[in-house]
Amino acid sequence: MSRLYHLMYPVVTIALSKPAALLLFLCLVSLTDLAAQSRQQLERERVALEEQIQSTRQLLDESIEQRRSTVENYVALQNQLEARRNMISNLHSQTRILRDTMENLRDSIKLLNEHFEEVRGIYFQQLRISYLRQLTTRDWMYLLSSGNLNTALKRYFYNQQFQSFIDQKKMELDSISDQIADRQAAIQESLDDLGRLQTREQRTVEELNRDLRTQDALLNSLRGKEQELRENLKEQENRRRELSRKIDRLIAEEIARRDEAVEELPERAAEYELLSGNFEQNKGQIPWPVERGVIQSHFGNQAHPTLRNVTIQNNGIDIQTLEGTPVRTVFEGQVTAVVSMPGDQYMVLVRHGNYFTVYAGLNSTYVSRDQQVKAGEELGVVGKDPGSGNFMVHFELWRGKDVLNPEEWISR
């Protein structure tokens, strides 16, 4: 819009009082800024959800290619459905913020137009006064008609201030016009964003409905394999009990070995405490043992996803990931055990001061006992779960002889 548009085509408005208009305008600007910050946060969350959905989709596609109809796939689908519902909620929130933002922008444009009319009235009034003065007398004649030098100087400075005031109002009009144009452009940008959000939401709803149909079909398939599922669960529980016994024994041995080392060299106690303190300070920020994956089984007691009246006990979390994914240590420490497990798999135990992390279900390992490792260093490669055929890593976290919930420690 041309800056001269408002000058050429007056707009009749009822102006607010200056203090009230200014206060309302500042409130609208603040609300718009807050809305922009909220939407940026929502957009970051949307991107994270997109990544989660993509990761889960890869796992499901891999299982479909291998014709695997498993409980893990059912859990992955549940995670996928939850992510899609969260995505729809996120898009709803962004849409609401965009509509509120556009409304605030329209209100601020209205106030700016009112302010523009007020300034334009003053500007034209001063232009008329200046024009009439030019018709009746010239500036130099006005100065020469002064009775003395003091009066002439006063008239000169008055002329300068008068012209400066007119120039200031002209600049103010230009500034208001620019602000109006910026807000009109912001409204158009918001409209474009709104269209993209609505398209994305429609696509997400369609994908949600598709996944719901897939989940129903998978659930029906699993119900026809209940006996097989119960047998697999029994084998899984046996493997868990054997793993727990080995972990209990290894941690007890390591604690005893540590106590002996501290007794021989008391200064070693400070090293353990320092590393433990560093580990504790990173609670909630510790990286995952794999770059990406889906938690299939959570910590503690939980209902079986498909078998009724069946409870599962898990001392850690089970993460499904892709074939060939490296398993990494989540924090610096020392490898205290590398143990062979049934099914040609391995378990690695890493000590971090008074804390221990367990990585089980590895197909191969790159480390050995007493080896120092850094955070993110590869311990081995994820293996295939004997029961489901999916690629899974079992991760546990201990403080001394107390088992902890890993999900409270790893990053989201």
Alpha helices in 224-299 (DSSP H): 226-264, 268-281
pLDDT in tens, 217-230: 777 777 767 676 67
For tokens 């996120």, the residue is 90
d(CA 277, CA 399): 12
Give Dmax over CA atoms of the chain in angstroms: 116
Instruction: Encode pLDDT of 154-211 as tens digits.
Output: 766 666 777 777 888 888 888 888 888 988 888 898 888 888 888 888 888 888 888 8
> pLDDT value at position 365?
94
The pTM for the full model equals: 0.62
Which numeric CATH code is attached to 235-408? 2.70.70.10
Residue 7 has pLDDT above 70, yes or no: no
User: Which residues make up the CATH 2.70.70.10 domain(s) of the chain?
Assistant: 235-408
- Could you report the per-residue pLDDT of 34-79, keeping only the tens digit for each? 666 677 888 887 787 787 777 777 777 766 555 555 677 778 888 8
pLDDT at 399 over 50: yes
Tell me if 379 sits within 8 A of 328, measured CB to CB.
yes
Quote the mean pLDDT of the chain. Answer: 80
pLDDT of residue 133: 66
Asked if residue 363 has pLDDT above 80, the reply is yes
Average pLDDT of span 306-311:
74
* Residue 378 banded pLDDT, cuts 50, 70, 90: very high
Please say if the pLDDT value at position 286 is more than 70.
Answer: yes
Sequence-ordered list of residues with C-beta below 8 angstroms from that of 123, at least 6 positions apart, any chain: 166, 169, 170, 173
Sorting pLDDT into bands at 50, 70 and 90, what band is 216?
confident
Say if residue 390's pLDDT is above 70: yes
Return the structure tokens found at 319: 């993460």
Closest C-alpha among 374, 237, 251, 387 to residue 312: 237
Angle at 340 between CA 334 and CA 342, to 5 degrees: 145
**Which of 326 and 141 is assigned the larger pLDDT?**
326
Local confidence band at 1 (pLDDT 50, 70, 90 cut-offs) = very low
Task: Give me the percent of the chain exceeding a pLDDT of 70.
Answer: 80
pLDDT tops 60 at residue 3 = no
Report the pLDDT value the prediction gives residue 74, as an integer from 0 to 100.
78
Of 1 and 158, the one with more pLDDT: 158
